[in-house]
Amino acid sequence: MTITITAFERSPDRGKGLGRDMRVRWAIEEVGQPYDVRLVSFKAMKQPAHLALQPFGQIPTYEDGDLALFESGAIVFHIAEHYPGLLPDDANARARAITWMFAALNTVEPPIVDREVARYLEGDKPWYKERLTGVDERIRKRLDQLSGRLGDADWLDGEFSAGDLLMVTVLRRLEGSGILNEYPNLSAYIARGEARPAYKRAFDAQLAVFTAASSG
C-alpha cells in the first residue's frame, strides 16, 4: 500500500510551503518512502468524507492501508517510529528527540500561530497594534530561549531528528516577519534544514501543486 496524504488544492501561502502538509511531505521524503497526495478544496475539507479522516475539517491527513491519521505532529511521529531515519536508536536520545517534537508544537508554535491569526483575522481591529506587539514579545521570548539552547550546534540534540524537522517548519512560519533576522543562529538552522535534499523534494512537490493550480 502506498501512503496517501492530503494537501490544499489551492494553498493560500502561494507555494511557500507553510501549510502543515509540508512537514509530513518532508518526513516521508526523509525516510525515503513513496507517497501520493490527494488534493482537497476548502469545501471538500468540510464534507463528511474528509471529516471522517480529519474531524476538524483540516489538512493534512495520512492513510496507509487500514491506518488513517490526522494531526501533523502525530503523523510525523508515526512516520519516525515506523521507518528509520528520523529518531535515534538510543532510548534516551530518542526520548529527547520526541521531547523536541512536542516543544516545537506545544511551546514554540502557539505564539507564532497567534501572530498569523492576529494578522489575518484581527488586522482591522482598533487594538491590533497592541495585540501584535504583545504576541511578538512572546515569540521573541521563545526564540531567545531556543537560540540560547541551540548555540552554535547544527541540530537541537546531536543528529538531525524529527524534532528538528518540526522545529524548522514551525520557525519557517516567521519568514517575512523580520523577527528571524534578530537570530542569526536560528536563521542558519532553518537554512540547514532547507538545504536537506529531502526538504527540497518536499518543497518542490508542494510548489508544483501551486504552479499547476495557477496555470490551470
Q: What is the DSSP string of 70-94?
A: ESHHHHHHHHHHHSTTSS-SSHHHH
Residues 68-127 that bind ligand GTB (CB under 6 A): 71-73
In Å, what is the CA distance from 21 to each residue of 28, 88, 152? 11, 24, 29
CB of 7 to ligand GTB, least distance (A): 9
**Nearest CA-CA partner of 139 in 180, 169, 168, 98:** 180
Q: State whether residue 103 is helix, strand or coil.
A: helix
How many residues line the site for ligand GTB (CB under 6 A)?
Answer: 13
- Rounded to whole angstroms, the Cα distance separating 204 from 73 reads 21
In Å, what is the CA distance from 194 to each residue of 67, 98, 165, 182? 29, 21, 10, 19
Of the candidates 5, 18, 28, 103, which one interacts with ligand GTB according to CB under 6 A? 18
For cell 510525523, the residue is 76
Residues 37-66 that bind ligand GTB (CB under 6 A): 45, 57-60
CB of 18 to ligand GTB, least distance (A): 4
Query: Which lies closer to ligand GTB via its Cβ, residue 69 or residue 186?
Result: 69
Query: Which lies closer to ligand GTB via its Cβ, residue 161 or residue 169?
Result: 169
- Alpha carbon 68 to chain centroid distance? 19
Residue 19 binds to ligand GTB (criterion: CB under 6 A): yes
Query: Which lies closer to ligand GTB via its Cβ, residue 69 or residue 90?
Result: 69
CB of 45 to ligand GTB, least distance (A): 6
Query: Which lies closer to ligand GTB via its Cβ, residue 76 or residue 156?
Result: 76
Of the candidates 2, 13, 32, 145, which one interacts with ligand GTB according to CB under 6 A? 13
Q: Rule CB under 6 A: which residues touch ligand GTB?
A: 12-13, 18-20, 45, 57-60, 71-73
